[in-house]
């Protein structure tokens, strides 16, 4: 069966520090991969999606970047975190008919 792993579950980082959140998928090949951010426990904002290795599309301009070094690995990064980067980050992968989500990372920038 397919599973998705996302870590860490929680993270507290100082302003100006770098960020790396990792997401891996098991049990499927060539998935579409996504990073979402959820602010204040409500709506989901699509940040990045990827249809294959090295192929990244950005939905909104921001202080973040994404990379896909392997087929089933998706990384969210920042060189210097801002206070406004705080939020709940969700990784997801999709088939043609549904999407599956990781458990999320609660990022607090202090």
Partner 1 sequence: AQSVAQPEDQVNVAEGNPLTVKCTYSVSGNPYLFWYVQYPNRGLQFLLKYITGDNLVKGSYGFEAEFNKSQTSFHLKKPSALVSDSALYFCAVSPPVSGSARQLTFGSGTQLTVLP
CA distance readout (Å), 84 to 22, 34, 90, 107, 110: 20, 20, 16, 10, 10
* Residue closer to partner 1 (CB basis): 35 or 79: 35
Close Cβ partners of 51 (under 8 Å, ≥ 6 residues apart): 32, 57
Q: Interface residues for partner 1 in 1-40 (CB under 8 A)?
A: 6, 32, 34
Using CB under 8 A, which of the segments 13-21, 67-75, 76-84, 92-100 binds partner 1? 92-100
**Pick from 12, 51, 60, 110: which binds partner 1 (CB under 8 A)?**
51
99 counts as binding partner 1 under rule CB under 8 A = yes
């Amino acid at each position: 069966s397919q599973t998705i792993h996302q870590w860490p579950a929680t993270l507290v980082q100082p302003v100006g520090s770098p960020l790396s959140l990792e997401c891996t998928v098991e049990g499927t090949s060539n998935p579409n991969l996504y990073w979402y951010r959820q602010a204040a426990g409500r709506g989901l904002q699509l940040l990045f999606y990827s249809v294959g290795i090295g192929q990244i599309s950005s939905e909104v301009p921001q202080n973040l970047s994404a990379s896909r070094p392997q087929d089933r690995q998706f990384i969210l990064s920042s060189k210097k975190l801002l206070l406004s980067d705080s939020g709940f980050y969700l990784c997801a992968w999709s088939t043609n008919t549904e999407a599956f989500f990781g458990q999320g990372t609660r990022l607090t920038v202090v």
